[in-house]
A and B are shown apart, each in its own frame.
Chain A
Amino acid sequence: MKQIVVLGGGTGGTLVANLLAKKLKSKEAQITLVSASNRHLYQPGWLYVPFGKQDPRTLSRPLASLLRKRVKLVIGKVCRLDTTTQEVELEDHTILAYDYLVLATGSQVAPEDIPGFSAGAHYFYTEEAAFKLHAALEEFRGGKIVIGVGGLPYKCPVAPLEFTFLLDEYLTDRKIRDKTELTYTFPLNRVFSIESVAEMAQPLLEERGVNIETFFNLEEVLPEEKIARSMEGTDLEYDLLIMVPPHRGAKFLQGHPIADEQGWVKTDRFTLQVKGYPNIWALGDTTDLPISKAGSTAHFEAPVIVERLAGRLRGIEEEVGEEKYEGHVMCFLETGYNKASMLNFDYTHPPKLHEPSRHVHYEKMVFNKAYWYLVPTGVL
């Protein structure tokens, strides 16, 4: 019987394991999912934690409860991948052999990549950091807040914009907005990389009195002086600094021959096969593809890997050769005051932007709750 090993218990790994379990017969393959944590995290929910709108305890569930029964769950951290012997080693020295491997180990924050970041900046990209930021915001009574993108690549590209809109609303509700100077920074010459989003967001930021600092790529934070400095040579003073930290791939992948120095796996943009390795695939944040690092990316990629892997296992690869990932991504964009927009695009169709509305905001609220039943299980 063939051994399929899936590394990573996030959206991509959980979904691939469940879809494989549905597609393949028990005698065809054993499916093992390896996860460093026994909890599955719903990371988009962390956006609301700093504002006290979401209890972080509601944003995770036992991973085992989301898996089909025939998926074998192994809790452990991968420390070594040997593509020659086709083995994965865990930190407790367990060795797992594979015939087919799926890499879904995602991304991790790397605040240490920016000097001064850990001491001087807040963020909301981990459960713990989001909760710390909540405490800092509760204590905030007015002053200068600088928000922006602090490193590349980063997860969920629209999140800093969403955070800025929600922060304006939060400060207004607390009646300290007039005592606060908000500055939003972005690395490019506009407020977001997608022009249509920038055209929608910039007037909203201006309307709400948010200063805009474009061409700002964070180079270092000076915590003593409370200054954020960019590689373009701009210094911004702050009382509270909220920056998205840079991200990296899993530690065992950093510098591995299948990945670049930051640990992003070299992946074919259509087949999602790891370049040069016909029995290994990667999805979600794990890849080096310059597309959105977001749960929806992994969601749309997973069925492609399942079809291709099953085809290869059954020796009918030519029949599934047309199964390709076309770059489909979908995401919500909160604009504050109970309104949101939505983006939908792929490699050949530029994003179509919906006018911010209450309807889309409530759609996102429903999705946040329904995620557990629809996405990792493969229902949607």
Chain B
Amino acid sequence: MQSITITREADARGSFCPGPLLELIRQIKMAQVGDVIAVISSDEGSKKDIPAWLAKAKQEFLGMEEVDGATRFICRKIK
């Protein structure tokens, strides 16, 4: 995780509507293939929703880490 450089990041803490996953999808759509995208979420549901969507959309899930009581999800746009 240490060697990964995040290309773009969105802070979606407290975002119930439209929510962290929609923000992540928006960021992925704007990004270039190869970009590393991160979203910070305070919603517990994201731990299930974000990896599930990344798998369905065939994007690469790189991992998650705790930040100030929230979670940073990191992925790479591969297509």
Contacts and interface: CB of A to CB of B under 8 A. Distances in A.
B57 A231 contact: yes
A262 interface: yes
Contacts of A343: 17
Contacts of B25: 152, 187, 217
A162 interface: no
A193 B22 contact: yes
Interface string A11-41: 0000000000000000000000000000000
Contacts of A217: 25, 29, 57
Nearest to A293: B18
A194 to B, nearest CB: 6
A194 B57 contact: no
Contacts of B17: 157-158, 193-194, 291-292, 329, 343, 345, 351
Contacts of A291: 14-15, 17-18
Interface in A234-292: 260-262, 269, 289-292
B26 A152 contact: yes
Contacts of B12: 290
Contacts of B66: none
Interface in B42-79: 45, 49, 52-53, 56-57
B53 A188 contact: yes
Interface string A326-347: 0101000000000000010111
A195 B45 contact: yes
Interface residues of B, number: 24
Given A187-B22, A188-B22, A232 B30 contact: no
Contact of B22 (A152, A232, A346, A351): A152
Contact of B21 (A193, A347, A350): A193
A217 B17 CA distance: 17
Contacts of A329: 17
Interface residues of A, number: 32
Interface of A: prevailing SS: loop
Contacts of A351: 16-17
A188 B23 CA distance: 11
A153 interface: yes
A260 B30 contact: yes
B21 A188 contact: yes
A259 B76 CA distance: 23
Residue from B18, B19, B52, B56 with most neighbouring chain A CB atoms (10 Å): B18
B72 to A, nearest CB: 14
Contacts of A154: 18
A170 interface: no
A347 B22 contact: no
Contact of A348 (B10, B14, B53): B14
B30 A261 contact: yes
A348 B26 CA distance: 23
Given A152-B25, A152-B26, A262-B30, A193 B56 contact: no
Interface in A351-367: 351
A85 interface: no
Given A217-B25, A290-B12, A189 B18 contact: no
Contact of B29 (A152, A193, A195, A232): A152
Q: What 7 A-B pairs have minimum CB-CB distances, sorted nearest first?
A: A347-B14, A193-B19, A290-B23, A152-B26, A290-B15, A290-B12, A157-B18
14 contacts: A152-B22, A152-B25, A157-B18, A187-B22, A193-B17, A193-B21, A217-B29, A262-B30, A269-B11, A290-B12, A290-B23, A291-B14, A343-B17, A351-B17
Interface of B: 10-23, 25-26, 29-30, 45, 49, 52-53, 56-57
Given A153-B23, A157-B17, 4 more contacts: A188-B19, A195-B45, A217-B25, A290-B18
